[in-house]
């Protein structure tokens, strides 16, 4: 494929992926297979995708100032816990065999689609003055830490898992939890990319057009989420994720 066509292809894919990520947290449903389709090896496709995902987080965070106002403390708390886990995930990816990564990914993507359907059924809790107990707080932090490991290892659909946790454990409206999710993914991906740059190969020339598209889509997403039917969007994306997981399962085990 001609270099210009590849750049346009990645720009369009990045815009769609960034938009989806800001709404539902599943950018890699688009961007990861797109990188595979132009011949990037699975592990390198994952880390190159992470490089581009940073700009989705940047765009969505810039557009979410209204939602994040008054929630800076919990925003940074969630982010720091996730980043701690992200370091471990990066090291696992860097030193685990690439063949095992390719065989694990289908299950991660299929599970992410299921997680999206399940998380969409949780109603946002009413605000209460009672603070979380130590056990509940520990469980929440542990779950966020595990998501951080997942972001560092693969990251595709990590936003779904994180949004599921925040929806269940926080008392904030959905749009606020979604904004916290976007910021946390943004900061954890930055840390992950720094580690990847020293431990594995990043296709920087492919990451650039993908990143530009993701910034555009990431900026549009938080604006759209205030107006579009989120439930329908999440349902469609979750079904697509499960179908992609089945396809990658077939490719990894039967081709």
DSSP per residue, 4-63: HHHHHHHHHHHHHHHHHHHHHS-THHHHHHHHHHTT--HHHHHHHHHHHHHHHHHHHHHT
Alpha-helical (H) ranges within the chain are: 3-24, 28-37, 42-62, 65-68, 72-95, 98-119, 134-153, 158-169, 174-199, 204-224, 230-254
Ramachandran sector of residue 232 (left: φ over 0; alpha: ψ -120 to 50; beta: rest): alpha
What crossing angle do the helices spanning 28-37 and 3-24 adopt, rounded to 10°?
Answer: 160
Cα–Cα distance, 38 to 236 (Å, whole number): 26
Domain housing 67? 3-254
Q: How many domains does the chain have?
A: 1
pLDDT at 25: 67
DSSP 8-state assignment for residue 124? P
Return the structure tokens found at 223.
């604006």
Predicted local distance difference test score (pLDDT) of residue 128: 46
Closest CA to 114 of 245, 242, 248, 23: 242
Q: Would you state the pLDDT for residue 129?
A: 41
> From first to last of its 255 residues, what are the pLDDT tens digits of the chain?
688 999 999 999 999 988 887 776 677 778 989 999 999 998 899 899 989 988 888 888 888 888 899 999 999 999 999 999 999 999 988 887 767 777 887 887 788 778 777 766 554 444 444 456 788 888 889 999 999 998 888 776 677 778 878 877 888 887 898 889 889 989 998 999 999 888 888 999 999 999 999 999 888 877 776 777 767 777 877 787 788 889 888 888 887
Q: Can you give the pTM of this predicted structure?
A: 0.77
Long-range contacts of 235-238 (CB under 8 A, 24+ apart): 235/117, 235/120, 237/20, 237/23, 237/24, 237/26, 237/29, 237/113, 237/116, 238/24, 238/26, 238/113, 238/114, 238/116, 238/117, 238/120, 238/160
What is the per-residue pLDDT for 132? 60
């Amino acid at each position: 494929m001609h270099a210009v066509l590849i750049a346009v292809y990645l720009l369009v894919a990045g815009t769609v992926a960034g938009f989806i990520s800001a709404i539902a947290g599943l950018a890699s449903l688009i961007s990861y297979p797109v990188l595979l389709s132009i011949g990037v090896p699975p592990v390198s496709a994952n880390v190159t995708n992470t490089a581009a995902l940073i700009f989705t987080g940047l765009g969505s965070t810039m557009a979410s100032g209204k939602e994040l106002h008054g929630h800076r403390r919990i925003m940074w708390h969630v982010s720091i816990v996730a980043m701690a886990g992200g370091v471990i995930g990066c090291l696992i990816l860097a030193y685990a065999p690439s063949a095992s990564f390719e065989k694990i990914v289908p299950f991660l993507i299929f599970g992410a689609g299921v997680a999206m359907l399940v998380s969409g059924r949780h109603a946002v809790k009413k605000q209460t003055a009672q603070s979380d107990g130590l056990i509940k707080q520990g469980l929440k932090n542990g779950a966020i830490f595990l998501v951080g490991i997942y972001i560092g290892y693969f990251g595709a659909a990590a936003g779904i898992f994180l949004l599921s946790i925040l929806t269940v454990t926080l008392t904030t409206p959905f749009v606020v939890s979604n904004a916290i999710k976007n910021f946390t993914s943004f900061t954890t991906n930055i840390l992950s990319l720094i580690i990847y740059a020293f431990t594995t190969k990043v296709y920087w020339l492919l990451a650039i057009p993908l990143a530009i598209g993701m910034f555009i889509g990431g900026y549009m997403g938080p604006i759209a989420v205030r107006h579009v039917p989120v439930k329908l969007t999440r349902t469609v994306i979750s079904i697509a994720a499960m179908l992609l997981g089945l396809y990658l399962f077939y490719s990894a085990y039967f081709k």
